[in-house]
Structure 1
Amino acid sequence: MTQRGYEFYDNQQTFDNYIERRSWNDNVNDTIEKPIVMEMIGNVGMKHICDLGCGTGSFGNELLDLGASSYIGIEGSQNMVARSKQVLNRSNSKVIHTAMEDWMNPTNTYDLVISRLALHYIEDLDALFGKVFASLCSGGSFVFSVEHPVMTSSFGMTRQEGLKQDWIVDGYFDTGVRKQEWLGGIALKFHRTVEDYYVALQGAGFVVGSLRESKPRRVQFANEEAFLRRMRIPLFLFLEGNKN
């Protein structure tokens, strides 16, 4: 059986490296990925939200501060769940310790389902998208980010030292599991094309809304060199599906 994505973060050293990386100035999660997600989800006031692969749960606090009615996080990693219990302590919030693949989804419950940089760990995306569609109320939305397919198809290009400066896309249409050396370990992620994600949403019944890529904005960066480097290649892909 292929290692599930959340297991990667249950190696303590890997988890510690992840937490340290998230604290960096100009980290890509805060400078690129999160601002686009926030634009796509819009006003969350009075919405019931489910977050698939919620990590440390810190995003839940932000959404509740913005007026969300409730927040449910789904997370498989024991390390992440333990951290979320320290971070997320609202009466209208909860983190469920279960893999996304094993998620016992409710029906017609959520106004918004989000997933930030987690779905590229999932092998059976069609099954999960079906669960998400069923869990949404009529008129609800599903917004997610994943590593951009040009990234997941260039993992074989390693760097000798310092920051990676070159990306060679290879085997783009050869979809499936890819190995990435990251955070001191080997992460298993699933490479898909942009079309694959789009078609999977439609197949689950969604009306596809916006599609975004991770074009950086200068105002989000403290460092000019970091900004210029992120202008070279798209790191993330974002899609919205609506249950109409």
Structure 2
Amino acid sequence: MAQNVYDNPDFFSGYSKLPRQVLGLDGAPEWPAIEAMLPGLVGKDVADLGCGFGWASRWLREHGAASVVGYDLSENMIARAKADTAGTGIEYHLADLDVLELPEARFDLVYSALTFHYVEDFDRLARTIHRGLRHDGDLVFTIEHPIFMAARHPHWISDEDGRKTWPVNGYSIEGERRTDWFTKGVVKYHRTLATTLNSLIQVGFTLSEIKEFAPSQDQIVALPDLAEELERPMMLLLSFHKAS
């Protein structure tokens, strides 16, 4: 079973104060880039893996999805998502993505934001997603960029000129990484970019688009702290297609 830090009271309290949790998609600077990668939603059945508070699930439904099923490991997340969701067409389920089995050919789109790097067996999940999608279905997801999460001690350091530098070491050594984020020992799983792409290609997906998120100048003007994101990619955005 995957580690469930989101039901740790200290972690959940800190996490809930993040701008992207207070402001929703408006607090996620990468959202415009993700939105541009999404296929048409009208009449589509969508799975949201690692749905969190349900921000994306609600947006997908509001923008034409016929139904959205959100899955998350955290009872806190699911409770909050249900409390914040009104109307019909969205349901939420407790689920561990390390063992989740989606119904065969149930969805037209599988979406996930910053969740798959918590999954130990990504090959198994790739097969599950491919099986759960209908023909001509799409997978759109974001993860922490492998460059961002490769180091054993990921944090900014200063180079000889005093410039912020992100350490990249152990990149080709895949597997567990432990970081301190709101609580100690948060478990993630580092995979190279090639491993992530090949895991999906080998089960039958075709790569549609890849983006290494960097903020725009307008975003930096609005939020100057985003300028440091130009020094290294923090997020990887990927779109795959299941051909008919």
Matched position secondary structure for 2:180: strand
The within-5 A match list for 1:28-67 is 30-67=27-64
CA contact (8 A) 2:118 2:189 kept: yes
Kindly tell me: are residues 159 and 50 of structure 1, through their superposed partners in 2, closer, same or farther at Cα, counting changes over 3 Å?
same
Deviations 1:113-154 (A, max 9, x none): 011000000010011110100111100001111000011113
Q: Which has the higher contact order (CA 8 A, sep 6+)?
A: 1
Over the matched positions of the two proteins, sequence identity in percent amounts to 28
Q: Which amino acid aligns with 1:33?
A: E
Moved more, 39-48 or 138-147: 39-48
**CA separation in 1, counterparts of 2:28 and 2:217?**
9
Q: Which one of the candidate residues 99, 109, 113 is aligned to 1:102?
A: 99
After TM superposition, give the deviation of residue 24 of structure 1 in Å: 8.1
The residue aligned with 2:160 is none
Matched position secondary structure for 1:99: coil
**CA separation in 1, counterparts of 2:58 and 2:239?**
22
Which stretches of structure 1, 4 residues or more, deviate above 6 A after TM superposition? 24-29
**CA separation in 1, counterparts of 2:70 and 2:136?**
21
The within-5 A match list for 1:66-215 is 66-158=63-155, 165-215=164-214
Matched position secondary structure for 2:31: helix
Query: Where does structure 1 lack aligned partners over 5 or more consecutive residues?
Result: none
Kindly tell me: are residues 237 and 42 of structure 1, through their superposed partners in 2, closer, same or farther at Cα, counting changes over 3 Å?
same
Q: Which one of the candidate residues 2, 5, 17 is aligned to 1:4?
A: 2
CA contact (8 A) 1:48 1:70 kept: yes
Kindly tell me: are residues 27 and 55 of structure 1, through their superposed partners in 2, closer, same or farther at Cα, counting changes over 3 Å?
closer
Deviations 1:23-66 (A, max 9, x none): 58999983433222211114312111001111111211111111
**CA separation in 1, counterparts of 2:25 and 2:174?**
25
**CA separation in 1, counterparts of 2:9 and 2:196?**
31
**CA separation in 2, counterparts of 1:58 and 1:26?**
9
Q: Which amino acid aligns with 1:76?
A: L
After TM superposition, give the deviation of residue 225 of structure 1 in Å: 2.4
CA contact (8 A) 1:26 1:223 kept: no
Query: Where does structure 2 lack aligned partners over 5 or more consecutive residues?
Result: 158-162
**CA separation in 1, counterparts of 2:179 and 2:133?**
33
CA contact (8 A) 2:20 2:27 kept: no
TM-score, normalization by structure 1:
0.89
Q: Which amino acid aligns with 2:76?
A: N
Q: Which amino acid aligns with 2:228?
A: R
Kindly tell me: are residues 28 and 223 of structure 1, through their superposed partners in 2, closer, same or farther at Cα, counting changes over 3 Å?
farther
Moved more, 26-35 or 198-207: 26-35
TM-score, normalization by structure 2:
0.89
**CA separation in 1, counterparts of 2:184 and 2:51?**
21
